[in-house]
Structure 1
Amino acid sequence: MTPKEWAQVALVALAIGLAVAATMLVPWRVPRPSRAARAAALRDVPADVVTRGRALHAALRPSAYGSRVVGLAAVLLLGLTPAGARIVAWVAQPFGGHWLAEAVLGGLVVLMLTWLASLPFGAWRHTVLRDYGLSTQDWRGWTVDLLKSGALGIVTGAVVLAGFYTLTRVAPDWWWALAAATAAALVVLLSFVVPVLVEPVFNRFTPMPAGSLRDELAALAAKDGMPVRDVLVADASRRTTGLNAYVSGFGTTRRIVVYDTLLQKAPAGEVRSVVAHELGHAKDRDPEIGTVLGAIGAAAAVVAIYLLGQWDSLLDRAGVDSIASPRAIGLVLALGALAGLVTGPLQSLVSRRVEVRADQHALRLTGDPAEFAAMQLRLATVNIADVDPPRIEYLLFATHPDTVERLAAAKEAAGAHASGLLASDPGPLSSPDS
């Protein structure tokens, strides 16, 4: 068979593998509150919380949609016209048009242009968040974070671009196979590296002071069969007033990370509820599942790009003679953006199902639906959430169940608790709120 035929076989195999993995690993059948239960939960939310959340998100929509539209338009302009190819060639001219200069310098310039197109909308969003008191960052801090993320992007982009286009030169017929395997391996590698190397770039982490709450969180993890290396506090208050916690890392690197804002604003029982949710992700191996699906998806994307690059009309539109040419980086980005546009709602659906399962885990682990409901209401209040967002936005973009869905789930769990169907004894973990 020809390389193209092998690529077609590989893409079908990867698509089947992705479908099988998603069917087996994603919790598609999770309990969902009825519409009536959601409506009842909405009535329990204070009117000012509902109004403020809707107002914030109405203020954020122009920047959110503007960023999506302008960002997509920019990448399509660079990829589906000769503009991207010309920019890459122009950047590499001082270096004699060398392929490595086109790949790294030209590729980075194209990536930078797409980033700059959305930058004003990011600033607009930051302005709104500051106006509502959700962001505590001044413009200097915001700019520093922007430069940090930009520097990380440049380093990562340079390595990926150099590696990818080296493969296209050393294996002109089979680069797609090598690149697909490399892409999958990078997804796996980054899932381990990011918590250890990247997170400290943006936050400072300190051990939670010794005391009852630290002991309770460590005991909660042990009770769940998910012992942690440490319980850390992130200095999130430098950026936001929002509340959050998460379980980071795998195996021996696993640790509970709690925002300092959560410790400042929530009682101990509610902190336990948030951590129990995050332990649910670790217990059900959601990070590992995400890594597996991401690795298969990345490999499939590389093969699909190779096959799409066999269409002469597409190459002509981009002003390139091969998808493997560094001058085709704009086309590669455009294809990736269109794929993301199509698959985004499905990814959001998967994320929501996973989050519902983690909620159910937290309710079982703590045996305290009242604390869970209180925490969800506090999160909605402090994070200024839209507790009942427009349905179309929920389906397209929401990665978590909304507040009324979670409150309704807590009420149903309370009924099960009263009937003896939900674990009700958290043992030595119970303690007065503080």
Structure 2
Amino acid sequence: MSAGGRPGARAALLVAVALGVAAVLVVVLRTPWELLPEPPGGHSAPDPTAGLPAAQLARAEAFADALRPASLLSLGLGLVVSAVLGLTPAGSRLVRAVGVPFGGRWWVQVLLGVPALLVVGRLVTLPVSAYAETVRHRYGLSTRGWGLWLRDVVVSVAISAALTTVALLGLLWLVRRAPRTWWAWAGLAAVGTVVVGSFLYPVVIEPAFNRFEPLPAGELRTDLLALAEENGTPVQDVLVSDASRRTTALNAYVSGFGSTRRIVLYDTVLDRLPDREIESIVAHELGHVATDDVLTGTLMGALGAGAATALGGWLLSWAPLLRRTGADSPGDPRVLPLVLFLVTIGGLLGTPVQNLVSRQIEARADLHALDLTADPEAFVDMQRRLSTTNLGDPDPPAAWQWFFGSHPTAAERIAMAEDWQRLEGRR
């Protein structure tokens, strides 16, 4: 029996179930399952080629064939390393070993053990990441040198280690201070962290990798701000990211909410797309703002984090599981590898659900772009240009799209634009 006892564990499980049900309800009620009514003659069947030339399709498929095995290998290696560290004494021995030279206090083990665990996991997958970067270089998608690539890896690991260490330090402090109810307080903290993180991410994390400048004054900026005004959504600014330092890919996104909400364009977009297609991309991003997608995602994430924390409170009360990792109780620093393993498993199981919701939300933003610009030709041209430049497979394998696809395929997006045209009587 754990320090919290079985009654506390049962309460944690009940709360996890309740929050999980709430998260499911938010997903069901806030996800746009039905987008377009069926046009005369039925919905358009997606063209697997998306209208792209055969040579471009062959290049995109060759790129995907080279990169997909690396993605799967990296995922598998990360899972295996996490399991070995979390379900055997190996991880707890590492946590204790790095803390002993500095006194071995519990908080010292957390401060040094968490970064050590994350660095081990990253080092194992680093050769696969380097291979993937080589593939991107070979196909002209990556422009960064190896020095910048290594710098990005180090910064990413450092940020992840710092944030994870602070979170787990707080978690163990709560376990030791409130052994019966720690999971409830930790769940509240997780919910708050998701909300605050969504607000601060654009101004704290994103600048660590890119520089952002306001879109210069001119006709395009005027048109985009007018588009936002017509959309009826408060946008603080339209920024340009120096993405070309790292990639030739085209992209745009919206992040943050409230006073940190902004639309970001890659500088490659400005260099390669005509204004009509840029306006179509921005209209898509404005669709996310109009339907409060960032806020909805934050709510889903907060409920999911609360449910996961409560479920963790139940799992960490199970003595056989603790014994596998060599920990005496949930407050023992040797439990850290197990916690990280549970987080990894939770993320893996949640990925297809998150991506299912994301695909529907992205499709709604596409529809919003078509409604706002009334320019399906620019939308279709933009989708084809994105596929060509980003080497996207317009019709990936169904299983891959189900698990990894956060957006509809290019073939699906173009088919929806064709349906929209038919419904609007534009053909």
TM-score range, shorter chain: over 0.9
Which aligned pairs between 1:171-250 and structure 2 lie closer than 5 A?
171-250=178-257
Q: Which residue number in structure 2 is paired with residue 321 of structure 1?
A: 328
Alignment equivalent of 1:11, drawn from 9, 12, 16:
16
The answer as to whether partners of 2:70 and 2:132 remain within 8 angstroms in 1 is yes
Which aligned pairs between 1:374-413 and structure 2 lie closer than 5 A?
374-413=381-420
Q: Tell me, in whole angstroms, the C-alpha distance in 2 between the residues paired with 1:32 and 1:294.
A: 30
Q: Which residue number in structure 1 is paired with residue 367 of structure 2?
A: 360
- Deviations along 1:297-318, whole A, 9 cap, x unmatched? 1111111111112222222222
**Structure 1 position 6, deviation (Å):** 2.1
The answer as to whether partners of 1:32 and 1:409 remain within 8 angstroms in 2 is no
The answer as to whether partners of 2:240 and 2:265 remain within 8 angstroms in 1 is yes
Q: TM-score, normalised by structure 1?
A: 0.93
Q: Tell me, in whole angstroms, the C-alpha distance in 1 between the residues paired with 2:419 and 2:338.
A: 50
Helix, strand or coil for the counterpart of 2:49? Answer: helix
Q: 1:198 to 1:40 in 2, by over 3 A?
A: closer
**Structure 1 position 95, deviation (Å):** 2.8
Identity, % of aligned positions: 45
Q: Which residue number in structure 2 is paired with residue 52 of structure 1?
A: 59
- Deviations along 1:56-111, whole A, 9 cap, x unmatched? 01010221111011110000000111111111111111233211011221122112
**Structure 1 position 257, deviation (Å):** 1.5
Q: Tell me, in whole angstroms, the C-alpha distance in 1 between the residues paired with 2:176 and 2:37.
A: 51
The answer as to whether partners of 1:370 and 1:414 remain within 8 angstroms in 2 is no
**Structure 1 position 148, deviation (Å):** 1.8
**Structure 1 position 334, deviation (Å):** 1.4
Helix, strand or coil for the counterpart of 2:392? Answer: coil
The answer as to whether partners of 2:48 and 2:394 remain within 8 angstroms in 1 is no
**Structure 1 position 8, deviation (Å):** 2.4
Q: Which residue number in structure 2 is paired with residue 428 of structure 1?
A: none
Q: 1:107 to 1:412 in 2, by over 3 A?
A: same
Q: Tell me, in whole angstroms, the C-alpha distance in 2 between the residues paired with 1:35 and 1:118.
A: 46
Q: TM-score, normalised by structure 2?
A: 0.94
Letter in 1 for 2:196: L
Q: 1:291 to 1:43 in 2, by over 3 A?
A: closer
Q: Tell me, in whole angstroms, the C-alpha distance in 2 between the residues paired with 1:36 and 1:299.
A: 40
Q: Tell me, in whole angstroms, the C-alpha distance in 2 between the residues paired with 1:43 and 1:13.
A: 43
The answer as to whether partners of 1:248 and 1:256 remain within 8 angstroms in 2 is yes
Q: Tell me, in whole angstroms, the C-alpha distance in 2 between the residues paired with 1:43 and 1:5.
A: 52
Q: Which residue number in structure 2 is paired with residue 23 of structure 1?
A: 28
Helix, strand or coil for the counterpart of 1:42? Answer: coil
**Structure 1 position 340, deviation (Å):** 2.2
Alignment equivalent of 1:275, drawn from 269, 274, 282:
282
Q: Tell me, in whole angstroms, the C-alpha distance in 2 between the residues paired with 1:231 and 1:335.
A: 39
- Deviations along 1:324-366, whole A, 9 cap, x unmatched? 3211111111122222222221111111111111111111111
- Structure 1 position 304 matched with structure 2 position 314: no
Letter in 2 for 1:14: L
Q: 1:228 to 1:36 in 2, by over 3 A?
A: closer
The answer as to whether partners of 2:376 and 2:417 remain within 8 angstroms in 1 is yes
The answer as to whether partners of 1:110 and 1:330 remain within 8 angstroms in 2 is yes
**Structure 1 position 282, deviation (Å):** 1.0
Q: Tell me, in whole angstroms, the C-alpha distance in 1 between the residues paired with 2:325 and 2:55.
A: 52
Q: 1:141 to 1:79 in 2, by over 3 A?
A: same
- Deviations along 1:138-175, whole A, 9 cap, x unmatched? 10111121222222223212321221111111112211
The answer as to whether partners of 2:10 and 2:314 remain within 8 angstroms in 1 is no
Q: Tell me, in whole angstroms, the C-alpha distance in 1 between the residues paired with 2:274 and 2:144.
A: 25
Q: Which segments of 5 or more consecutive residues in structure 1 lack a partner in the other structure?
A: 421-434
Which aligned pairs between 1:246-265 and structure 2 lie closer than 5 A?
246-265=253-272
- CA RMSD, aligned part only? 1.9
Q: 1:327 to 1:31 in 2, by over 3 A?
A: farther
Letter in 2 for 1:410: A
- Relative CO higher for 1 or 2, CA cutoff 8 Å, sep ≥ 6? 2
Q: Tell me, in whole angstroms, the C-alpha distance in 1 between the residues paired with 2:50 and 2:183.
A: 54
Q: Tell me, in whole angstroms, the C-alpha distance in 1 between the residues paired with 2:326 and 2:315.
A: 15
**Structure 1 position 4, deviation (Å):** 2.1
Helix, strand or coil for the counterpart of 2:59? Answer: helix
Q: Which segments of 5 or more consecutive residues in structure 2 lack a partner in the other structure?
A: 1-5
Q: Tell me, in whole angstroms, the C-alpha distance in 2 between the residues paired with 1:274 and 1:294.
A: 26
Letter in 2 for 1:306: G
Helix, strand or coil for the counterpart of 2:44? Answer: helix
Letter in 2 for 1:193: L
- Structure 1 position 341 matched with structure 2 position 318: no
Letter in 2 for 1:179: A
Q: Tell me, in whole angstroms, the C-alpha distance in 1 between the residues paired with 2:44 and 2:84.
A: 47
